[in-house]
Amino acid sequence: MFYDGDDTSFEHKELRLSDAFKAPSDKLELVVHVYNLAIGKNEELKRICKPLREYSIFSNHYKMLRKQGLSVDEAVRDTIRSCIDNDVMKDYLQHNESEVIDMFGFEWNEKEEREALLEAGEARGRLNSIRELLSDGIVTLDVLKASGRYSTEELTAIAKTL
């Protein structure tokens, strides 16, 4: 397996299936070797394997442009142009440019996903607390509305569940 994310702290690591279980079993073991393709990592492997070297060049160029603030679309288009101009994955990119652009149009960002889930969980917890206060008669919808702390949408959603 090859890694081209932002973690440059490792060159190679092993992931073991047995680590996912409470009680390891000696009956089955799967070991996945992960090789980091970041700049300065696994250079010998990239030297002897042209497809990995070229993919690494493409990936690292794209990441550099994203860190400079270019949008996904700008970064991927610039990376494709640069790679074609420098004979990196040239044939593949010339024949599959639109597919590559489409693939990058759906860029998954683990950090953003985690933050969105956390925010959704906090909002859900907040709404559940408000429901409990309303159900117990401690506050009324009018009091919550007057507080200005809750949007009309939030209060409407809460009212529907009472």
Burial status of residue 92 (CB atoms within 10 A of its CB: 0-12, 13-18, 19 or more): middle
In this predicted model, what pLDDT tens digit does every residue of 31-88 receive, in sequence order? 899 999 888 999 999 999 999 999 999 999 999 999 999 988 899 999 999 999 999 9
Secondary structure letter of residue 6 according to DSSP = S
In this predicted model, what pLDDT tens digit does every residue of 7-35 receive, in sequence order? 778 888 888 877 777 777 777 788 899 99
Angle at 19 between CA 17 and CA 24, to 5 degrees: 90
Confidence grade of residue 151 (pLDDT, cut at 50, 70, 90): confident
Rounded Cα–Cα distance for residues 42 and 131 (Å) = 55
pLDDT score of 109:
59
